[in-house]
Protein backbone atom coordinates (compact mmCIF):
# COMPACT_ATOMS: atom_id res chain seq x y z
CA UNK A 1 0.00 0.00 0.00
CA UNK A 2 1.42 3.37 -0.94
CA UNK A 3 1.86 6.30 1.40
CA UNK A 4 -0.94 8.36 -0.21
CA UNK A 5 -3.40 5.47 0.17
CA UNK A 6 -2.56 5.17 3.86
CA UNK A 7 -3.01 8.90 4.27
CA UNK A 8 -6.38 8.92 2.52
CA UNK A 9 -7.70 6.02 4.63
CA UNK A 10 -6.59 7.73 7.84
CA UNK A 11 -8.04 11.07 6.77
CA UNK A 12 -11.36 9.51 5.78
CA UNK A 13 -11.58 7.74 9.13
CA UNK A 14 -10.70 10.99 10.90
CA UNK A 15 -13.52 12.79 9.07
CA UNK A 16 -15.88 10.82 11.30
CA UNK A 17 -19.35 10.86 9.77
CA UNK A 18 -18.37 8.85 6.70
CA UNK A 19 -17.35 11.93 4.69
CA UNK A 20 -13.86 12.13 3.27
CA UNK A 21 -11.63 15.09 3.98
CA UNK A 22 -11.59 17.51 1.06
CA UNK A 23 -7.80 17.82 0.99
CA UNK A 24 -7.11 14.12 0.33
CA UNK A 25 -5.75 13.35 -3.12
CA UNK A 26 -5.80 9.94 -4.76
CA UNK A 27 -3.07 9.63 -7.36
CA UNK A 28 -3.70 7.69 -10.57
CA UNK A 29 -1.44 4.79 -9.57
CA UNK A 30 -3.39 4.40 -6.30
CA UNK A 31 -6.67 4.59 -8.18
CA UNK A 32 -5.47 1.86 -10.56
CA UNK A 33 -4.52 -0.27 -7.53
CA UNK A 34 -8.06 0.12 -6.20
CA UNK A 35 -9.46 -0.93 -9.58
CA UNK A 36 -7.20 -4.01 -9.56
CA UNK A 37 -8.38 -4.97 -6.07
CA UNK A 38 -12.05 -4.33 -6.88
CA UNK A 39 -12.12 -6.06 -10.25
CA UNK A 40 -9.52 -8.79 -9.89
CA UNK A 41 -8.12 -7.78 -13.29
CA UNK A 42 -4.41 -7.92 -14.04
CA UNK A 43 -2.67 -4.63 -13.34
CA UNK A 44 -1.74 -3.83 -16.99
CA UNK A 45 -5.32 -4.45 -18.11
CA UNK A 46 -6.77 -2.39 -15.25
CA UNK A 47 -4.30 0.44 -15.99
CA UNK A 48 -5.21 0.53 -19.70
CA UNK A 49 -8.95 0.45 -18.99
CA UNK A 50 -8.68 3.08 -16.25
CA UNK A 51 -6.73 5.41 -18.54
CA UNK A 52 -9.31 4.90 -21.31
CA UNK A 53 -12.20 5.64 -18.94
CA UNK A 54 -10.50 8.75 -17.53
CA UNK A 55 -9.73 10.05 -21.03
CA UNK A 56 -13.34 9.47 -22.12
CA UNK A 57 -14.67 11.24 -19.01
CA UNK A 58 -12.34 14.18 -19.62
CA UNK A 59 -13.37 14.50 -23.28
CA UNK A 60 -17.08 14.39 -22.45
CA UNK A 61 -16.73 17.01 -19.71
CA UNK A 62 -14.61 19.24 -21.98
CA UNK A 63 -17.49 19.16 -24.50
CA UNK A 64 -19.91 20.20 -21.74
CA UNK A 65 -21.80 16.91 -21.83
CA UNK A 66 -23.74 15.78 -18.78
CA UNK A 67 -22.73 12.30 -17.63
CA UNK A 68 -25.16 10.01 -15.83
CA UNK A 69 -22.98 7.24 -14.41
CA UNK A 70 -24.47 5.19 -11.58
CA UNK A 71 -23.18 4.52 -8.96
CA UNK A 72 -20.93 7.60 -9.31
CA UNK A 73 -23.80 9.94 -10.05
CA UNK A 74 -24.75 12.72 -12.44
CA UNK A 75 -21.91 15.04 -13.44
CA UNK A 76 -22.59 18.31 -15.22
CA UNK A 77 -20.34 21.24 -16.09
CA UNK A 78 -21.66 24.42 -14.49
CA UNK A 79 -18.94 26.77 -15.73
CA UNK A 80 -15.86 26.59 -17.92
CA UNK A 81 -12.89 28.97 -17.84
CA UNK A 82 -10.06 28.80 -20.38
CA UNK A 83 -6.63 29.72 -19.04
CA UNK A 84 -3.11 29.51 -20.41
CA UNK A 85 -2.39 26.37 -18.35
CA UNK A 86 -5.55 24.63 -19.52
CA UNK A 87 -9.30 24.71 -19.00
CA UNK A 88 -10.86 24.94 -15.57
CA UNK A 89 -14.18 23.17 -15.34
CA UNK A 90 -16.53 23.77 -12.46
CA UNK A 91 -18.65 20.66 -12.15
CA UNK A 92 -21.66 19.60 -10.14
CA UNK A 93 -21.76 16.00 -8.97
CA UNK A 94 -25.07 14.67 -7.74
CA UNK A 95 -24.62 11.33 -6.04
CA UNK A 96 -27.47 8.89 -6.50
CA UNK A 97 -28.27 5.40 -5.42
CA UNK A 98 -26.38 5.52 -2.14
CA UNK A 99 -26.91 2.93 0.57
CA UNK A 100 -28.88 5.50 2.60
CA UNK A 101 -31.28 6.04 -0.32
CA UNK A 102 -31.85 2.30 -0.62
CA UNK A 103 -32.60 2.08 3.12
CA UNK A 104 -35.14 4.94 2.85
CA UNK A 105 -36.86 3.17 -0.07
CA UNK A 106 -37.10 -0.07 1.94
CA UNK A 107 -38.55 1.75 4.97
CA UNK A 108 -41.17 3.57 2.91
CA UNK A 109 -42.29 0.31 1.28
CA UNK A 110 -42.88 -1.30 4.67
CA UNK A 111 -44.85 1.65 6.10
CA UNK A 112 -47.28 2.89 3.42
CA UNK A 113 -48.69 6.42 3.63
CA UNK A 114 -52.28 5.32 3.05
CA UNK A 115 -54.16 2.34 4.44
CA UNK A 116 -55.31 -0.12 1.78
CA UNK A 117 -59.04 -0.35 1.24
CA UNK A 118 -60.73 -3.54 2.37
pTM over 0.85: no
Partners of residue 67 on adjacent β-strands = 75
What is d(CA 108, CA 88) in angstroms, rounded to the nearest whole number?
41
Asked if residue 42 lies in contact with residue 49, where contact means CB atoms within 8 angstroms, the answer is no
Number of domains in the chain: 2
**CA nearest to 30, candidates 57, 14, 50, 52:** 50
- List per-residue pLDDT tens for the chain, 118 residues long: 445 444 444 444 444 455 555 789 999 999 999 999 999 999 999 999 999 999 999 999 999 999 999 999 999 999 888 888 888 889 899 997 666 655 555 555 555 555 556 5
Specify whether 15 is located in the same domain as 28: yes
Q: Are residues 70 and 32 part of one domain?
A: no
**Domain residues for 89?**
64-118
Amino acid sequence: MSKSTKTSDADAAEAGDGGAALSVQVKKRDFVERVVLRSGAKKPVARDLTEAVLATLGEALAKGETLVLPPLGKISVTRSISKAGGDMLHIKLRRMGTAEDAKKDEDSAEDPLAVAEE
